[in-house]
Amino acid sequence: MNDFLTDSRFKDIVPFSSRICLSSPTMHGDEQKWVDEAIRTNWVSTVGENINEVEKMTAEIINRKYAVALSAGTAALHLGIKLVGEKLYGQPKIGHGTLEGRKVFVSDMTFDATVNPIAYEGGEPVFIDTEYDTWNIDPIALEKAFELYPDVRVIVVAHLYGTPGKIDEIRAIADMHDALIVEDAAESLGATYKGIQTGNFGAASIISYNGNKILTGSSGGMFLTDKIEDANKIRKWSTQSREDAAWYQHEEMGYNYRMSNIIAGIVRGQLPYLNEHIVQKKQIYERYKEGLADLPVKMNPYDEINSEPNFWMSCMTIDEESMCQQVRGEKDSLYLTEPGKSCPTEILSALSAFNAEGRPIWKPMHMQPLYRMTPFITADGNGRGRTNAYISESGTDVGADIFNRGLCLPSDNKMKPEEQNIIIDIIHRCFL
């Protein structure tokens, strides 16, 4: 393990006195007002004016008719997947999910919260490889997946790091196969595709207000829809499916998934600052892009003609020929320092040594031990390997490649330009 504090390449750099975070909550003061109001009026549970307001405000910002406030983005995604499954296959028997025994296509390079709700509902995920243009689900791989599994009717699409995927192509393929899209816009609040915000493209769509997102309630999420009957169904399920009776009457499975009025108070104070946060995040991205332009690296890409990310997370990949030797196990990694080269493990270790937080790219789901025997489809559609992975003869696996060569950079919107310049300098010195 390199001691970067004594490494001659870094001899004149002083560690940050306060940690530079990857992406921490940014409070403005309004949050306290609405939390205090909830406490003062004793509305601290899962009903109250804050909840009503954040549902209204979120729906208006995203331009959906209805939003349902839930305890987490994962809870919203679970109920969205359950809703789509029920629409397609009907209400399941007790102890079974709406997707019981059925395959579901899902983004491969994402957080496992995108995938686990499929399993909650008894479904089997089929991972669709990533494409290099946006780091999102590859439409070509999706078409190959339908050739292999023509009966699939559900596609779960995530917008990685706040960057919209190729929505038109994905929706055209879904329509051709009579499939429904569940849109995981947890990371992409405020991002647009052809002028339309993410959160508008699914039969069920969700966003997250988790602690590190572009806006936060410390936790919380939203289900989004234009259909009142869907909003009412989600609201009922999220409150233990209690029927309209004087006693506790239950006729279908329910969950304790409603957002609290305290959390909603924080979100209520955050929502007016969405555009401000997006501007700050974009400035961070652009400073990295300019400051690293002379290195053999590339920033996380997006479709500059059709989309505008929210720039929630600034990431980069190292050009293949400039990668130093790096080996990753399940939990640990090793690398060899090489002049003129670097790798994610070295850069992340250097940043950490100077009190700045980076992170590896999401490890693709087909590489996770939990899902290692689950089908995985690339753009080639060729099948081989004991893990049921469908990969090309040359071993093409875009998600694994981005994971190997990529990292998330400190993207906190409270980071000062001079602090970011030091981070850029540290990255440069890793290549000396």
- The CA–CA distances, whole Å, from 394 to 108, 151, 384 equal 19, 29, 11
Q: Which residues are registered as beta bridge partners of 326?
A: 335
CA 306 to chain centroid: 20
Residue with tokens 């919260």: 113
- The CA–CA distances, whole Å, from 243 to 81, 232, 233, 332 equal 22, 12, 11, 50
Residues, the chain: 432
Distance (Å, whole) CA 92 – CA 114: 22
Nearest Cα neighbor of 263 from 15, 417, 35, 10 is 35
- The CA–CA distances, whole Å, from 207 to 58, 213, 369 equal 10, 10, 27
- The CA–CA distances, whole Å, from 428 to 48, 155, 269, 295, 421 equal 51, 40, 39, 7, 11
Distance (Å, whole) CA 88 – CA 74: 21
Q: Which residues have a catalytic role annotated?
A: 213
Distance (Å, whole) CA 411 – CA 413: 6
